[in-house]
Each structure stands twice: as C-alpha cells, then as structure tokens.
Structure 1
C-alpha cells in the first residue's frame, strides 16, 4: 500500500517549511504569525493603501518574508510592490513568488541568471467550497482526484489541485504577462513522490528560445496546510560550458 507524501506544519532547525520542496538554487522565508506593525517601504505602504486590517496584515507579513528572502539571497532588501495584477515586482536580476493564507506567509526568490520563474502557493488543508472544483478542473482531473481520495483520504486533493494551478499561473504570468484560465492547464498529481505535472493546453512561453509545454512542481500536505511550488531553471545559454 502506498502512502501519500505529507509533512508537518511547524518550522524547525532545517528552516522554512516550504524549503523541503524547493531546489537549492532558490531561497525561502516564511512566517506562521503576523508580527506587530511590520515595517514597509513607502512604495509598499502606498500600494496597500486603506485596505482592511486582515488584507494589510497579509500583505505586510508577506513583504517581511520577501525582504528576508532577498537578504538570504545576498541582495540588499528593497521594496516589493505589487504589479497591475498583484504580482510582486522584484529588484532587477531577481525572480520570485509570494503566497499567503490563514496562518502562513512565504516568499521564495532566486537569481534571474539561474532561475527563469518561480510560483508558490499555500492553502489550508480543507475542501474547496461546493461548486468550485467543477469550475476549475477538467473531467479527467476530477476522476483522478476521486481515485486519490479513495486511496489517501487524509489529503484534500481538490485543494492540492487548486494550489498547483495557482502555482502554475504564478510561474506563467512573469514569462507571458497574459492571463491563464484554469481549464488551460491539466494537472497530474503524484501521491507518493509529492510531485505534480501541469500540461499546458495553450501555447507556452519561450525561455531563451525554448518553448515550455508543461510545468513540473512539488507539493506537501500537513494537518493544516497544503503548499505547492514550481521552480523553472534558466536554460544554459549557447556557448556556456557545462560543469563536469
């Protein structure tokens, strides 16, 4: 009998919870609670404006994680304001992704010369609201979820699927600046390896001349949280010697 890959929800000596599903070419920072009055850069403070207390806390703590991740990367921290669609605007030469849900905020960053794009998403390990799954999934995905749920009932697979598609979009948008609908992606979840594959049903972006037809990522599930992550390495440029 196989067992679905799961993980605990508390950070330990190894570092951020999300680190276990990330490659070594990126760094991460996360928090499980909002610090009181976290400092924001003026550009960030203007962006959040007069948002309500909950949204301001989510935004501000996520920026604390972003600033910490930049420091870990060896960069001088600076403002990370949102773009037109809410995507984080990183300093030149950096790519990254931010996520927040109830009880968890995280940021992951990498150097643009080594990483083409990053997408992360965190969700509560709870079922989706009635009707949402049909709106965001394809029939073959729902059939796969039924099989997974029968074998591994402790994981809310509909939420894993949702999270994986969110990570795909966050990876897609920095490369294309275009919208991507839920039905434009078909996701396959691997319960034992903690991996997923997302095949694009529309033409994919080109990265250094190579067209992407799918994204691959990893997921983990704990008693309270589900996290997914995608890191697309930057292709080696022609003429760049490989290391033995």
Structure 2
C-alpha cells in the first residue's frame, strides 16, 4: 500500500502479518534485549520491510537501530521512515541525493481513545473534522488527523533534531485529492537554504487502515516523480 502514496524515487515495502524467518543483526538484537513480545514482533517485521526497501534501492541489508528518541539510524546516504500498527508494518526509504526527509505513519481506521482528540488537535482542526464527518462517516477523520500529525513529526525530526508538539502544526485534509497540508506554527527547518513553512502529504484509507506520507525533496530537486496512483480520492469523496 505505501508505494501508492510515495514518489517513484522512494522505495516502499509493507507487510500485513509478521514473518517468522527474519534474522536480525546483533546490534538489532541488542536493542531488543528488554523488549516484550509485541515490541519484538513489530521491530522484526519492520526490519524485514527495511531490508526489502534497501534492496529496491540497490543497497545491501544493514542494521537499523533506534536512536535516543527512537528514530531509526539509517546508513549514510539514506533517509527513511518506519511505521507499524495492528495488522500493518511498513518502511519507506530513499537516497539522500533525492530526498531530504520522509515521514510515514499507519493507523487503524477506528476512533481515537476518549480524550486524545482534544490533546492532539487545534480548535479550527476540530471544526474541519466535523465538516469532513458530515460528508463521509465511513472514515474516522480524527484518527486520520492523528496519523497525519505523526507523519509531520517524523518528517520534521530528521531535519531539526527537535521535538514538535501536536499544536505546533495545523493540518488540513483534502479528501478529493487524497492529500493533506501541514502549516507549521513555529519556525520551520531550512532545507537547501530555504526555510520550510510546512509540509504536504498524501493519504490512503483502505482495508481498515489509514496511511499517510510526507516526502521532502532534497536541495536542488525541484519535483519528485509522482506516486504510482496520482490524486487518488478517498472512498466517497466529492471531487467537484
């Protein structure tokens, strides 16, 4: 699924169940020394996706261990992002000559736990969500907002090394085009001498899952090749 919402220069790989034959590098095993079974399964399956994505880029498998804030430690010349939720594991990688940062996230298409929406959203975003819900109640828009904001952070962090709170970015969803826009409410990172004011992303809702992706072009790369499915509207979206 993930390859449908990332540019052609990004290698995406995903799994919908956990394989039993994934061998981890010693460094990865060490990172799992205190992990419970659920964490081990998520980590291991995500690394299987990483191996596939590296292979698609023509690169050998390497250990990818979490950094101080849990961020994946990519090999030199590579940028990427990992996500996992119940029933889904995914990775998206690219060469840093083409892409400055990637963020992806996956969530079940279900309601957020009670009280979470108020923590992760701005008042104007909640108005936007109510409008979207009136148009299409089959999608849990509050969960989609959460997924998009997680993706914003994953694209932001490699460029800044800093935390970004949920209320420091305002997200607007365009279901007709299968896209979202995130406006930063704090000074954005500089990429190639230009300061970013926000991020643009793509989204997909299918098979009970919500996927979101942001890909920031590297300096000097004006446009990235389009995803395999361009401007994919969500189910039931009005495309007037």
TM-score for the superposition, normalised by structure 2: 0.91
| Matching residue of 1:173 | 157
| Matching residue of 1:81 | 65
Shifted more, 141-150 versus 32-41: the winner is: 32-41
Q: Residue 38 of structure 2: SS of its match in structure 1? A: helix
| Matching residue of 1:4 | none
| Matching residue of 1:194 | 178
Shifted more, 132-141 versus 45-54: the winner is: 45-54
Q: Residue 29 of structure 2: SS of its match in structure 1? A: helix
Q: Which of 18, 26, 31 is the equivalent residue of 1:42?
A: 26
Q: Residue 105 of structure 1: SS of its match in structure 2? A: strand
Provide the aligned C-alpha RMSD in A.
1.2
Residues in 1 aligned to 2:33 and 2:156: alpha-carbon distance in whole angstroms: 27
**2:198 maps to 1:217:** no
| Matching residue of 2:217 | 233
Q: 1:82-111 deviations in whole A, cap 9, x for unaligned?
A: 111111011100000000000000000000
Shift of 1:38: 1.9
Q: Residue 92 of structure 2: SS of its match in structure 1? A: strand
**2:109 maps to 1:109:** no
Residues in 1 aligned to 2:9 and 2:216: alpha-carbon distance in whole angstroms: 10
**2:34 maps to 1:54:** no
Shift of 1:168: 0.4
Shift of 1:50: 2.3
Aligned residue pairs, count: 222
Shift of 1:167: 0.4
Greater than 6 Å deviation, 4+ residue runs: none
Residues in 2 aligned to 1:45 and 1:209: alpha-carbon distance in whole angstroms: 39
| Matching residue of 1:6 | none
Residues in 2 aligned to 1:152 and 1:192: alpha-carbon distance in whole angstroms: 11
| Matching residue of 1:64 | 48
| Matching residue of 1:14 | none
Q: 1:185-215 deviations in whole A, cap 9, x for unaligned?
A: 0000001100000000000000111101100
Residues in 2 aligned to 1:209 and 1:42: alpha-carbon distance in whole angstroms: 39
Q: Which runs of 5+ in 1 are unaligned?
A: 1-16
Q: Residue 76 of structure 2: SS of its match in structure 1? A: coil
**2:16 maps to 1:32:** yes
